[in-house]
Structure 1
């Protein structure tokens, strides 16, 4: 009888470690990715608002552009009335600054919904882990 209990305890523990904790790690990674996407869109929104504010005062401006791996070059922007947004799969669409702000707000709302769903899924996985741990404790006769 005691060996059966130990086998069940080991099965439950391996299920927690091999399945549930890995699922939890995947969900947390997705959550981090989506949060970084939201941060990038918020930063882009801030940049667009800044461009809109200085666009009326000057005919162009100078800036530094990240070419990748934190390698920056100086650039001069003559007309900042339109912007290209990545819509996915390597495609870019040209928008006016106001249109881009609307698209960015919609994307942020979609990402926020995904964050809510992921947090619910993380909470559900954590609850499953706790329930199994309570079951293990009951099998072992601990309080």
Structure 2
């Protein structure tokens, strides 16, 4: 095989392994993080809805809180009509139950858009990898009809 072709093949393989596959791994990590965020928000929304449906937002409730390493303390919440919600950058805002549900719905929609974007980027990166691998295969003289 021609040495120039071998150099090109090596460059393409290096690009795929060092750049594209690394980009793909980072995109998949971001996608996983966004999916985890959505799951957390949906769990919070379900909990808020349960509080509201059972009247616990006004009457209060008892719970156990994990303070670390599976050590729990008992807590009494006398009024759960407002909650503190993380609105980003480490800032929390006190919201009523209905306001919190509205904010959660907006955040979930935003996260779904971000997930859609990451999925498109992952598909695009996979397509680039496949295209380069097909180019390498052609440079090596393999027939696609195998």
**TM more than 0.5:** yes
User: 1:126 maps to which residue?
Assistant: 126
Asked whether the 8 Å contact 1:84–1:93 carries over to 2, the reply is yes
* Higher mean C-alpha displacement, 71-80 vs 12-21: 71-80
Shift of residue 73, structure 1, vs aligned partner:
2.1
Shift of residue 15, structure 1, vs aligned partner:
0.1
Asked whether the 8 Å contact 1:55–1:80 carries over to 2, the reply is no
User: 1:117 maps to which residue?
Assistant: 117
Name the CA distance, whole Å, in 2 between partners of 1:32 and 1:76: 34
* Higher mean C-alpha displacement, 31-40 vs 84-93: 84-93
Structure 1: stretches of 5+ with no match in the other structure: none
Aligned residues: 143
- Alpha-carbon RMSD: 1.6
Q: Provide TM-score, normalisation by structure 2.
A: 0.92
Q: 1:21 to 1:56 in 2, by over 3 A?
A: closer
Residues 37-116 of structure 1 mapped to structure 2, 5 A cutoff = 37-55=37-55, 59-116=59-116
* Higher mean C-alpha displacement, 19-28 vs 64-73: 64-73
Name the CA distance, whole Å, in 2 between partners of 1:47 and 1:15: 47
Shift of residue 8, structure 1, vs aligned partner:
0.5
Name the CA distance, whole Å, in 2 between partners of 1:116 and 1:29: 14
Q: Provide TM-score, normalisation by structure 1.
A: 0.94
Asked whether the 8 Å contact 1:85–1:95 carries over to 2, the reply is yes
Name the CA distance, whole Å, in 2 between partners of 1:42 and 1:68: 24
Structure 2: stretches of 5+ with no match in the other structure: none
Corresponding residue SS for 2:124: helix
Shift of residue 65, structure 1, vs aligned partner:
2.0
